[in-house]
Structure 1
Amino acid sequence: MRFLIPLLLAATAADAHYTFSALIDGGTSTGDWVAVRKTVNWQNNGPVTDVTSDDIRCFELSPGAAAAQTVNVTAGGTIAFQANPDIYHPGPLAFYMAKAPSGQTAATFDGSGDVWFKIYEEQPNFGGQALTWSSNGMKTPSVTIPKCLADGDYLLRIEHLGLHVAQSAGGAQFYISCGQVTVSGGGSGSPTELVAFPGAYKATDPGILININYPVPTSYTNPGPAVFTC
């Protein structure tokens, strides 16, 4: 029995974590790790907790190893990620994009440098016994690609930030994946507030170092840049 208890605890911890393994376009899934770069946590579902680590960018198992496919998406349309098993922890969902520079594709681009812009961030629900988020329990979180975004190849980064034990530095849990997309039908939009990963966040940012339970916050500041809008 003394050996069984640690195994059960480990299994419970793994079940409480999650990955984002596939893109879903028009209701059709690409399949796991086909258009999404395989992450370090593809087997154990564990999070990134160090915002200064290169893992905070795309959490790639083999940095520089592209996914096999790139998905075509239309500017103004929506695309989703598959969560496995679902978004379990309370905390905000965010989406970022980074345009592949001239001469590169979504498959060859590593996402380094001040290239990332935010296209969505989630605010919590206030007024309860703790901060809560509508993304909690989601299986296929989706985002709308900005209608004015310039055509081209992009990395699409999903980030869910688990804040259930974020009251001490290093307690926040980041669940991250990067998909490969080609945007068409867009415009001339060019985001100006660009950030790098790592670099965009500090462990002491008020949206990362926070007790969501007591005293219950009455406001929340999402980490990172403002959301790009057309």
Structure 2
Amino acid sequence: QRQSVISVLSNITQQSHKPLSLWVLLKMHFQSLSVLATLLVTVYAHGYVDNVTVAGTLYTGYQPYTDPYYNPIPDRVIRPVQGNGPIQDVTLIDLQCGGYTAGGVSGSSPAKLTAGPAAAGSQVSLRWTLWPDSHSGPVITYMARCANDDCTTYTPGTSAVWFKVAEAGRTGTSGVWGDSPLMIAGNAYTYTIPSCLAAGSYIVRHEIIALQTAGEYPGAQFYPSCHQIKITGSGTSTGPSSKLPFQVPMQRLT
């Protein structure tokens, strides 16, 4: 990588016939390293939600390998995740929206923006980074109404506020799982906002549960992602609520 950067700089210098400033050299070197880092992340990645489309508007998701290095950090509708790795300790608050308690980051902080408005009964599309075909499992989506109708300052803690709105498991006895479509580049996952849902601001918790290690300690791998959305409509339901980390059974709102 170092040699390729030097070659690029040499070619540009020869073509311009002018010496490049130290700032330009450093900037180009940083950009080259950023490209390399992105490629490495892609090769060794599990995955995270890259973007979400709500009411026809595409919102770029939190980018864990670039956003933290911007000043200021870009405002997003998806709450920060600490990387593309899984949550495997289901007793931790990290299970809600992503976190890394072992590394000093407990749970996930609120996003600065809220997507929408979107009508109850409409669909929302989520596009993951390309999902590895070795990580088959179900895809489940939950929602929780934000206190004071403001998701940008709200963290659920251990309150019983979550309800399930969508799930996609195994198809019959085949090897096709809910996340199988996400193993094909360009595919997205779509869920429907319940038509009976009361208007307001909500956190949507969307996750893939990879089962390839479910038969051994520490068990299945959870990949949660949370986005914030404003819902409109005349519904009155806020769902039968449960806690996360899990309080079972959890009913589905339809």
TM over 0.5: yes
**Which of the pair is proportionally richer in helix?**
2
Structure 2: distance between partners of 1:143 and 1:50:
26
1:56 paired residue number = 95
Taking every aligned residue pair, what percent have the same amino acid on both sides? Answer: 28
Task: Tell me which amino acid in the other structure corresponds to 1:182.
Answer: K
Query: Contact conserved, 1:87 with 1:136, CA < 8 A, in 2?
Result: no
Task: Tell me which amino acid in the other structure corresponds to 1:166.
Answer: A
Query: Contact conserved, 1:105 with 1:153, CA < 8 A, in 2?
Result: yes
1:208 paired residue number = none
1:132 paired residue number = 176
2:246 to 168, 178, 199: 199
Report whether the alignment pairs 1:35 with 2:106. Answer: no
Cα drift, residue 225 of structure 1: 1.2
1:146 to 178, 189, 194: 194
Q: How many residues align?
A: 190
Cα drift, residue 153 of structure 1: 0.6
In structure 2, relative to structure 1, the CA distance for the partners of 1:169 and 1:132 (3 Å cut) is farther
Cα drift, residue 51 of structure 1: 0.5
- Relative to the length of structure 2, the TM-score reads 0.68
Cα drift, residue 84 of structure 1: 1.0
2:253 paired residue number = 228
1:111 to 156, 168, 171: 156
1:216 paired residue number = none
Task: Tell me which amino acid in the other structure corresponds to 2:172.
Answer: F
Unmatched tracts of structure 1, length 5 or more: 1-10, 202-223
Task: Give the root-mean-square deviation of aligned CA atoms.
Answer: 2.3
- Relative to the length of structure 1, the TM-score reads 0.74
Deviation beyond 4 Å, 4+ runs, structure 1: 11-14, 60-64
Structure 1: distance between partners of 2:41 and 2:151:
36
In structure 2, relative to structure 1, the CA distance for the partners of 1:143 and 1:17 (3 Å cut) is same
- How do 1:55-94 residues align onto structure 2 when only pairs under 5 Å count? 55-60=94-99, 63=107, 65-72=109-116, 73-86=118-131, 88=133, 89-94=135-140
Structure 2: distance between partners of 1:180 and 1:52:
23
Query: Contact conserved, 1:153 with 1:181, CA < 8 A, in 2?
Result: yes
Per-residue Cα deviation, 1:41-70 (whole angstroms, up to 9, x for no partner): 1xxx11111100111011147656322210
Cα drift, residue 171 of structure 1: 2.2
